[in-house]
Amino acid sequence: MERLDDELSARRAATAGRHGSGHPLAILLDGDLRRPRLLVAFRPLLVVPHLCWLALWALLVTPAVVAAWVVALVSGRVPTGLHRFLAAFVRTAAHVSAFLHLVGRPYPGFLGREGSYPVDLTIAPPARQRRLGVLARLALVLPALLIESAYTLLALVVGVLAWCAALVTGRMPAGLRDLGAAALRYQAQTVGYALLLTSRYPDASPRLETPLPEARP
Amino acid sequence: MTAVRPWHVAVLVSSGVAWIAAAWALAGTVVPDDLALPAVDVEGVFGAALVERAERYERFLYVNWALAQIAMLATLVVYARRGVRLARESAAGPVGTGMLLGMLGLAVVWLTTLPFSVAALWWDRRHGLSQAGYLHAVLGDWLALGGMFLAISIALLVVMTLARRLGPWWWIPGALALGAIAVGLVFADPYLRTGLEPAREGRVEQAYERLARAQGVAGVPLRIEKVSDVTTEANAYASGLGPSRRVVLWDTLLDGRFTEREVDVVLAHELAHQARDHVPKAVGWFALFALPGALVLSLVTRSRGGMAQPAAVPLALLAVAVLQLVATPAANVVSRRMEAEADWKALETTRDPAAARGLFRELAATSLADPSPPAWARLLLGTHPTLADRVAMAEAWAEHHGGSEPSTTEPRPQ
């Protein structure tokens, strides 16, 4: 039993931290793999308020991203306010997805504040983007969306397996957690790219590399 | 201890006066005040064998219901004491944490009462009233819980936000806000239901149009709900507000077990609910009950810092469950009064008490409803007048109108 705990601790230490290959959108993981069974059992229903909230929020995101696209096309940069608004949306969606797929333990908030959730998404401030890349963003994102749909399917499988495992053991298997986190990271990077939060193309690698020296930027 | 100020008293007194005036306005009915219901020979009307079978069937459900209530209250007592610990599973801030605790409270109640729901389904299947599979029913119930999670989250969002901004007086705007939420939910309800089809049987539609004209109800569509794959029981209901108003018949009413005249009585009864604005009145009653309910809630949760604090939510759930149980007899009185009014208006429209009597007899047979349940069951579970009382009303109507009952009775379909 002690050996198992040691292995788990070692595994946690190996993957907890910031993961993003230097990408402007990176995911932060905590090391807590315990999942209380009551919250596991009802997890798909507990996110219903978040899903409704995100659906309402998405109504505002659509005009915001159009405005960001027009401004970025003219000035080569997304205004800070719009960037912050879109980043909060993507971060909230990432928090909710992390909770739903059991990658994160606690119940997430609704406002997408950075540092408010142990499985967090760090998003770099707005940077200059090439106008041609902004103009063609919709076409450029299509291949990434194809891969993202595969990652979505993977996240679903991970979520179902993790749900069964955590319901029995009260813990999230570390391997499934890492796989779920990789899927989550790719999804967030793709949406971030589509919403003009970054000009950097999503990193398709499913590998979570060893943590960077700094846990939080 | 907060000192009682004159304006506190003024607010409470004026609220009380407004409450009584509103209740008076909502309680109006077209049933004559002097109407005396004759005694009905229950076994003579319904048949001794059916009465005995229905009593046996209902007895199990009464016990099952009582045990479920005890289990629910016991669970909520434990949850009120220990549920606060689950707050550490939240990173959602005070209001979000309150929402989580509210949803988890419903979840543990659902888990505790699940065996009783399954037992009721087993009993229904045993009596041929349900064909629903256990897995299908449990999964459907679990998914329906998602809707309840959303509803309690919205209610807690409103209540906790008001409590955080207004302090101990949140309960006045809180009750109004809960009333507004109820209006929204009742309005949206017909649009959220699936499996509703327009009436395809020309005769039913023609009868519906004729009865709607007679009651002065316009623009309320008739819909048929397909339930025959899960139950053999027959039912109908009126729902919606303003443009969302609907009358819905279960397709089991049209499977040949009920005569055309009996179906007409059902249509007239549901139209009467719309004609007499029973749906908005029910929302009005909800708002009236919500006002003192919210006041009690604000007082009960003071020991946990009031409704502004997530720690108060588990205790609030227990308080709401107890309040609901205590208010049930009063709510049932209101509901029975509306149903009796709809029965009366249906008789006035169809002028066919024989068909009404036949309908209530057949409802007893198809739903195994005890025509004359014990007084405690009437008090706690009786949302409608008993079938014996409904037959008595049909006879009282015939008496009141000096034998205007049609002389012929329609042969029951085989």
Predicted confidence band of residue B375 (pLDDT cuts 50, 70, 90): very high
**Amino acid A204: pLDDT:** 87
What are the beta bridge partners of residue A120? A28
The pair of structure tokens assigned to B67 is 């045990």
DSSP annotation string for A91-111? HHHHHHHHHHTTSS-SBP-SS
**Amino acid B30: pLDDT:** 92
Q: Which of A48, A52, A109 sits opposite B91 (nearest CB)?
A: A109
**Amino acid B192: pLDDT:** 87
pLDDT higher than 80, residue B188: yes
Are the Cβ atoms of A36 and B93 closer than 8 angstroms?
A: no
Query: Taking CA atoms, what residue in A is nearest to B152?
Result: A49
pLDDT higher than 90, residue B130: yes
CA distance B120 to A118: 43
The pair of structure tokens assigned to A46 is 């507990």
CA distance B175 to B291: 5
Would strands A25-29 and A17-19 be described as parallel, antiparallel, or unpaired?
antiparallel
List C-alpha distances in Å: B328 to B74, B334, B336, B376, B383.
19, 10, 12, 12, 9
Q: Which of B99, B107, B147 sits opposite A38 (nearest CB)?
A: B107
Ramachandran angles phi, psi of B392, nearest 5°: -60, -40
Are the Cβ atoms of B91 and A41 closer than 8 angstroms?
A: no
Are the Cβ atoms of B91 and A52 closer than 8 angstroms?
A: no
Q: 3-state DSSP: chain A helix, strand, coil percent, rounded to 5?
A: 60, 5, 35
**Amino acid B33: pLDDT:** 86
**Amino acid B412: pLDDT:** 56
Q: Which residue has the higher pLDDT, B269 or B143?
A: B269
Query: Taking CA atoms, what residue in B is nearest to A114?
Result: B91
Would strands B246-250 and B222-225 be described as parallel, antiparallel, or unpaired?
parallel
Chain segment B333-353, per-residue pLDDT in tens: 999 999 999 999 999 999 999
Give A42's contacts in chain B (Cβ within 8 Å).
Answer: 103-104, 107, 145
Query: Taking CA atoms, what residue in A is nearest to B88?
Result: A106
Residues A166-188 have a mean pLDDT of 95
CA distance B218 to B225: 21
Q: Chain-wide mean pLDDT for chain B? A: 92
Predicted confidence band of residue B405 (pLDDT cuts 50, 70, 90): low
- CB within 8 Å of chain B, chain A residues 180-209: none
pLDDT higher than 50, residue A99: yes
Could you give the 3-state DSSP secondary structure of residue B224? Answer: strand
Give B150's contacts in chain A (Cβ within 8 Å).
Answer: 48-49, 52
Could you give the 3-state DSSP secondary structure of residue A18? Answer: strand
- In the numeric block, the tokens 């029910």 are attached to B282
| ipTM for the assembly | 0.86
Could you give the 3-state DSSP secondary structure of residue A5? Answer: helix
CA distance B61 to B69: 12
Q: Classify residue B85 by burial, with Cβ atoms within 10 Å: 0-12, 13-18, 19+.
A: exposed
CA-based nearest distance A108→chain B, Å = 5
**Amino acid A212: pLDDT:** 41
Are the Cβ atoms of A107 and B100 closer than 8 angstroms?
A: yes
Q: For an interface test with A, which of B82, B89, B154, B160 has the most A Cβ atoms less than 10 Å from its Cβ?
A: B89
What residue segments make up the domains of chain B, in order of their start? 35-400
Are the Cβ atoms of B91 and A46 closer than 8 angstroms?
A: no
pLDDT higher than 80, residue B70: yes
Provide the 8-state DSSP code for B6: H
Q: Per residue in B115-140, is it b (16+ CB within 10 Å) or e — as a string?
A: ebbebbbebbeebebbebeeeebeee
Q: Quick one: which H or E segment has residue A25?
A: strand A25-29
- CB within 8 Å of chain B, chain A residues 44-103: 44-46, 48-49, 52
CA-based nearest distance B90→chain A, Å = 4
Chain mean position to CA B367: 17
**Sign of the CA dihedral B104, B64, B270, B228?**
positive
Are the Cβ atoms of B91 and A42 closer than 8 angstroms?
A: no
For residues B186 and B239, is the Cβ–Cβ distance under 8 A?
yes
Residues A13-18 have a mean pLDDT of 56
User: How would you classify residue B397: left for phi > 0, otherwise alpha for psi between -120 and 50, otherwise beta?
Assistant: alpha
What residue segments make up the domains of chain A, in order of their start? 2-194
Predicted confidence band of residue B411 (pLDDT cuts 50, 70, 90): low
* Order of all β-strands in the sheet with A120-123: A17-19, A25-29, A120-123
Are the Cβ atoms of A109 and B96 closer than 8 angstroms?
A: yes
Among A12-16, A67-71, B288-292, B364-368, the minimum mean pLDDT is found in A12-16
Predicted confidence band of residue A17 (pLDDT cuts 50, 70, 90): low
**Sign of the CA dihedral B76, B80, B86, B92?**
positive
Predicted confidence band of residue B401 (pLDDT cuts 50, 70, 90): confident
Chain segment B23-47, per-residue pLDDT in tens: 999 999 999 988 889 999 999 999 9
What are the beta bridge partners of residue A19? A27
CA distance B224 to B270: 13
Query: Taking CA atoms, what residue in B is nearest to A107?
Result: B90
Give B91's contacts in chain A (Cβ within 8 Å).
Answer: 106-109, 116-118
pLDDT higher than 90, residue B5: no
Give strand ranges (E) for A41-149. Answer: 120-123
pLDDT higher than 60, residue A14: no
The pair of structure tokens assigned to B309 is 């604090």
Residues B234-255 have a mean pLDDT of 95
pLDDT higher than 60, residue A38: yes
Q: Quick one: which H or E segment has residue B297?
A: helix B278-300
- Nearest Cα neighbor of B394 from B367, B362, B365, B355 is B355
The pair of structure tokens assigned to B79 is 């949850």
**Amino acid B140: pLDDT:** 87
Chain segment B207-221, per-residue pLDDT in tens: 999 999 999 998 899
